[in-house]
């Protein structure tokens, strides 16, 4: 079973997925950099087991670049 690292924000009605990573270092680095900017709503990393998913993890998401990186490395969910 593969683990994916899901960066989320909000709670309850405002809960949302911000990014999805396959690499834990990238996920936690994004969390640290994002929260270091003093956002109104901080993000957190959740570890999800992807083995039981019937659709690709990135379905309905767009690939973007992370802060300080040139190549796409993560997915940003549509709002």
Better-predicted residue by pLDDT, 78 or 53: 53
Q: Are strands 43-49 and 3-9 parallel, antiparallel or unpaired?
A: antiparallel
Mean pLDDT of the chain: 76
pLDDT at 32: 95
For the residues of 13-73, what is the DSSP string, one character each? GG-EEEEEES-HHHHHHHHHHHHTT--SS-EEEEEEE-TT-SS-TTTTEEEEEPTT-SSEE
pLDDT tens digits, residue range 7-42? 999 989 999 999 999 999 999 999 999 999 988 899
Q: What is the pTM of this model?
A: 0.63
**Are 4 and 55 a contacting pair, CB within 8 Å?**
no
Nearest Cα to 19, choosing from 66, 77, 62, 58?
77
């Amino acid at each position: 079973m593969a683990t994916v690292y899901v960066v989320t924000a909000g709670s309850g009605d405002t809960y949302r997925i911000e990014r999805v990573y396959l690499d834990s270092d990238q996920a936690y680095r994004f969390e640290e950099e994002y929260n270091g900017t003093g956002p109104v709503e901080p993000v957190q990393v959740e570890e999800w087991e992807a083995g039981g998913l019937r659709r690709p993890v990135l379905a309905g998401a767009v690939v973007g670049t992370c802060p300080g990186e040139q190549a796409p490395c993560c997915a940003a969910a549509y709002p």
